[in-house]
Structure 1
Amino acid sequence: MFWLVKHGVKASGMPAFGGSHEDRALWNIAAFVKNMPQMSEEQYATLGSAGDH
């Protein structure tokens, strides 16, 4: 997941974030995406809004 977030996927609409984000942030994004299927709507809303502060 980290590699996909960092490098993107050509011709899929998945952009690469490696050029604009440090690896620590990319690991956090990868962990968030990996855990999305198990999240409730409330957990998603809480975690998704955490970056708004």
Structure 2
Amino acid sequence: MTKQQALKFLKANRHTLSKQQYKTIKGQMICGDVTGALKGLAKVLSR
């Protein structure tokens, strides 16, 4: 998954995240750690 696709996926799931979770995951994606950010996002969404 590319960075742009990951950001779109994050934006689509924005309503389920807190403000801080959204900012943290978005920051990880922008810095280049897309796989780690998606892993964290999956963990948060599974709760």
| TM-score, normalising length: structure 2 | 0.44
Bigger helix fraction = 2
Q: Which has the larger radius of gyration?
A: 1
| TM-score, normalising length: structure 1 | 0.41
